[in-house]
Every structure is written in C-alpha cells, then in structure tokens.
Amino acid sequence: MKTSFDPTQAAQALSNLQNIIPAPAEVHSSGGIFKLADHTPIYVDPGSAEGKIIGMYLADHLKPATGYALPVLPAAGTLPPGRITLTAAGADLGLGAEGYELVITTDSLTLRAPHAAGLFHGVQTIRQLFPAGIESPAVQSGPWFLPTLTIRDYPRYEWRGMMLDVARHFFAVADVEKLIDLLAYYKMDRLHLHLTDDQGWRIEIKSWPDLARIGGATEVGGGPGGYYTQEDYKEIVAYAQSRYIMVVPEIDMPGHVNAALASYPELNCSGVAAEPHTGIDVGFSSLCLDKEITYQFADDVLGEISALTPGPYIHIGGDEAAASKPDQYIGFIQRVQASLRSSGKQAVGWEEIAKAKLLTTTIAQHWNSDLALQAADQGAEVIFSPADRAYMDMKYDESTQLGLIWAGYINVNRGYTWDPATNLNGFPINHILGVEAPLWSETLQTLQDVEYMAFPRLIGYAEIGWSQQTVRDWNGYRDRLAAHGPRLTLMNVNFFHSPEVPWKE
Ligand code: IFG
C-alpha cells in the first residue's frame, strides 16, 4: 500500500531531527519519511549477542508508546523493505569506539557502527527522532514516522560523565539506575560514584567490615545513611555496563575520611575513634600517615574495590587534604597510585594530586585551581569539572532552595556556554580527556532533589562532551532543549523549568 506523503508529517519529522541532543556531528536530511509499522522487523547481526541485546533495547523503548510487535530477528538472506537493521557489517572504522552512521530512506532504517557502543548511541538518536510521545509508557495514537536522512556521528571526548556523591546523603540502587538510564539517553559514558567521605562510608569492604557497618550508619543531618553491599555495587556496575557506561568508584583519601576514622580507632593517630560527622564542613580529617596500618588499609580497600570494578579507573580522591602533612600527602599519593597500577588499574584524583610525582597513567580531575596545569606538565590527562561551570550542586539562581553558592550561581546558560579547550589558560588541549559534572549531595536528600539539580544542566554537559564546538551555540541549544521538556516529563524527571528556556508543552 502506497503511503500517502503528508507534508505535515515530514515537517514534524524534521523538527524532531533539529532537536537532537547532543547535536550530531554531520546531518543530511532528504525531506521524506520512513513509517514504522506494527511488524517492522528489527534485524541484528546473526550470532552477535550484543547486537541482539541492543535490538531488544530498541524494541523495548518503542513498544510501550506504539503498541507494535517490532520483532527482533537475525539478519539472513534478502531482507524485506520496511525494515530496521542494526549492524557492524560495512561500518566505517573511522567512526571509532563510539561512533555510528544512521541512514534512513523511505523503506528502511540502517544503523551501522564498528562497535556495539556506537550502535547503542545510535539507538538514542533514533529515540529522539520520534516525537516526544515515543517516551510515553502508554500506547499513543500513531502514526510513527522518521525523517529520511544520513547522520554520521561520533564523540569529541571519550570521558563524558556525571559524579554522584552518595556519601553526604545515600541513594538507593534503583535511584542510581534511573540516573544511568538518563545518562545513556544523552550518550554519556562515565558514572563516577563518590562512595566515601567524612559523613559516610557507602561500600561494603569485607576485610574492614566496620567501615560500612559504622561508617555507613549516618549522613549529613544525622539521617540513617546506608551503604551498598558488594552485590549492590556489582548490580550498579552491571546495569551501567549494559548501557555502555563505565562506573568509576571513588575512595576519597587521605582527607575526607572521618567516616573511616569513626569506624576504626587504630586508623586514628590518637588510637581513639573519631566522632561521626553529620555537618558539612570539609578539610578537617586525615588518615594517620605516620602509621603503617593506614597503608595496609588503603591497599585492602582499593584491592577489594578494584576486584569489583571491571573498568580500568579507580578514583582515590586526594582533595582538600589540609589536615595531612604535605610531604606525607605526597608520599601517600605516590604509594597508592603505584599499588593501583600493580593491580592493573589507573588512579584518578582531584587535581591536588599534581603536587605528587604522577605516573603517566594517572588522571587528574580539574575542579578549582590551576594544579591541572601541573598535572598536564607531568604528562597526565585531565578531566574538566570546573566548579564555577560544572558543579551541579551550585544553585541555579537566588531562587533555588537546594544547593550551595561557594562557586557562584550556575544557571542553564552558564552551565552550557563554556568550552574545555579554553577553560584554563594555556592548558594543552591534547591532555583533555573530557568533561564530568559533579553533583555533591550535602543539601540533597531524594532522587527528586538530584534530578532537580542535575536536569536540565546535565544535558548541556552531555553536549559539551559529545558535540563539536562548531555546532554549539546557546540560542540554538536553548531551543533544542525546550523541545526536551515533554521528553523529560514523560521519563518522569523532576527537572527545573528554568525561565531561561522556552519549554515546549
Ligand atoms: N568541595 C569538596 C567536595 C564538596 C564540594 C561541595 C571537591 C573536590 C566542595 N571537594 O569539590 O567534597 O564538599 O560543592
């Protein structure tokens, strides 16, 4: 049956194309439409387990709103018109580890990528090419069509992440997994979990059981806190992996350790356990760097967290160690990064670690000084998290109830209108590993609080990490972001309706 060409459908299809975030690298539209039908097959490469999983993921995200069958089948023999194909066959290796090519004609949709992560990112683009109603959990009236086009897309930076502080306040596995789904929707690929701090130790360590039992028993404000068992942590890691997101765990040392000092008297120079801390001041605690047991503790903890973490990166914190003696701080950082490398991991640390002699495999995270320059001078790669641009715990403006203001207000515009390549004067751009937006939780207690501070600003950081600087401008982004309001609502995200954005209904 010849589908009649409806110019309004083509116009609607094009408007979705213009609202993709992060903005794709190369887009060519040809003005036609591809109509999804009830039994449109989703073909995947025969024998590719990952291809099948991604095909099922696509089907699972299109079925609720369309009510269509959308069978996922191995591609074999001649394929019928009116099909979707996800394949590595014939993919351009130049697209790299995460790139993809999407070709939509009037009778087929072909998503090609040399690696599974690219297919997965291409699926997010397909989701955004449908009207917002595609994200509805209930069947919507169709028709469901896509614009005919070619998209070639690949990320600017390989590190595109968010940090969630689960130490000041604790968040359940399910909350973290909802965040992971949202990170995936915007093509982010790193989730840095800030697991330990003065107010809480949030990860079970079997060789030091009181860390979670005692150190996880409270939080800022004195609430019940909580912690992840090692099974919980493995569940989070596996869930993230299934969304092509790497979990980067942080054990913050030698400062920010009051929860550990409250759990084990022997970790204190005094031999007496510290009192639990439920306030929000920083920089007052340090491991006792005079004692050998401290280094045993660090090795045991990092050994266990490394064994639970498939990714190569382990974050050792290193920030605000005012209570540690400078020479002992340097010795500690150097010792810990070396022991991590001996277990095949790369250390990541806040930029203060640049005071030590870094291994070339060690990564520094820029947040509020020019120590990142010293890290780069030593050959380290640097993740950009400038506090005055990317700290999502900063209030949007004077009216924001949640959050802090020590790094200044960060509204949606300020969070978006910067470029890592020009953020630090004289920083060598070939040492920029990517972007990460930290969300510290001193003032956040629920997932709704987290969503309110993270959205919509996180969407801007996702674009800074993925899109070329040449395709980014505030006016264009603002209007594209406006079209994501209905999508965020349908995905049940408690986002801040910033007055800067002309939100669509
Ligand atoms: N700085 C501290 C965080 C947190 C933050 C709140 C870093 C690296 C202030 N360290 O940012 O623990 O308290 O905005």
Q: Which of 281, 320, 405 to mutate to test the pocket of ligand 1 (most atoms within 8 A of CB)?
A: 320
- My answer on whether omega of the bond before 499 falls inside 30° of 0, hence cis, is no
215 phi and psi, to 5 degrees? -65, -20
C-alpha of 154 from chain center:
17
Q: 308 alpha carbon to ligand 1 midpoint, in Å?
A: 26
Taking CB atoms within 8 Å and a gap of at least 24, the contacts of 98-101 are: 98/154, 98/155, 98/158, 98/187, 98/189, 98/244, 99/152, 99/153, 99/154, 99/155, 100/125, 100/151, 100/153, 100/154, 101/150, 101/151, 101/152, 101/153
Which residue is closest in CA terms to ligand 1's atom 4? 440
The answer, yes or no, to whether any atom of ligand 1 lies below 6 A from the CB of 367, is yes
Q: 163 alpha carbon to ligand 1 midpoint, in Å?
A: 11
**Residue 1 pLDDT:** 38
- Evaluate whether 153 touches 121 at the Cβ level (below 8 Å): yes
Which residue is closest in CA terms to ligand 1's atom 5? 440
Atom of ligand 1 nearest to the CA of 404: 14
C-alpha 2/C-alpha 36 separation (Å) is 14
Enzyme catalytic residues: 320
Fill in the amino acid letter for 490. Answer: L
The answer, yes or no, to whether any atom of ligand 1 lies below 6 A from the CB of 320, is yes
**Residue ranges of the chain with pLDDT lower than 50?**
1-3
Phi-psi group of 67: left, alpha or beta (phi > 0 → left; psi -120 to 50 → alpha; rest → beta): left
Atom of ligand 1 nearest to the CA of 365: 8
The answer, yes or no, to whether any atom of ligand 1 lies below 6 A from the CB of 282, is yes
- Evaluate whether 377 touches 346 at the Cβ level (below 8 Å): no
pTM above 0.85, yes or no: yes
CATH 3.20.20.80 spans which residues of the chain? 159-490
501 by DSSP, 3-state: which?
coil
- Evaluate whether 246 touches 190 at the Cβ level (below 8 Å): yes
CATH 3.30.379.10 spans which residues of the chain? 7-153
Homologous superfamily assigned to 7-153: Chitobiase/beta-hexosaminidase domain 2-like (3.30.379.10)
Atom of ligand 1 nearest to the CA of 350: 8
Which residue is closest in CA terms to ligand 1's atom 8? 319
Q: 336 alpha carbon to ligand 1 midpoint, in Å?
A: 21
The answer, yes or no, to whether any atom of ligand 1 lies below 6 A from the CB of 393, is yes
The answer, yes or no, to whether any atom of ligand 1 lies below 6 A from the CB of 391, is yes
Q: Which of 168, 282, 409 to mutate to test the pocket of ligand 1 (most atoms within 8 A of CB)?
A: 282
Phi-psi group of 344: left, alpha or beta (phi > 0 → left; psi -120 to 50 → alpha; rest → beta): left
The answer, yes or no, to whether any atom of ligand 1 lies below 6 A from the CB of 350, is yes
The answer, yes or no, to whether any atom of ligand 1 lies below 6 A from the CB of 440, is yes
Atom of ligand 1 nearest to the CA of 256: 12
Q: 189 alpha carbon to ligand 1 midpoint, in Å?
A: 22
Q: What's the CA dihedral at 74, 77, 80, 82 to 10 degrees? A: 40
Q: What's the CA dihedral at 176, 180, 182, 184 to 10 degrees? A: 180
Q: 356 alpha carbon to ligand 1 midpoint, in Å?
A: 20
312 phi and psi, to 5 degrees? -80, -10
Atom of ligand 1 nearest to the CA of 320: 10
- Evaluate whether 292 touches 262 at the Cβ level (below 8 Å): no
Q: Which CATH number fits domain 159-490: 3.20.20.80, 3.30.930.20, 3.40.50.720, 3.10.105.10?
A: 3.20.20.80
The answer, yes or no, to whether any atom of ligand 1 lies below 6 A from the CB of 319, is yes
Q: 440 alpha carbon to ligand 1 midpoint, in Å?
A: 7
C-alpha 391/C-alpha 407 separation (Å) is 8
Q: How many residues does the chain have?
A: 505
**Structure tokens that stand for 81 in this block:** 């018109």
- Evaluate whether 155 touches 466 at the Cβ level (below 8 Å): yes
**Residue 381 pLDDT:** 98
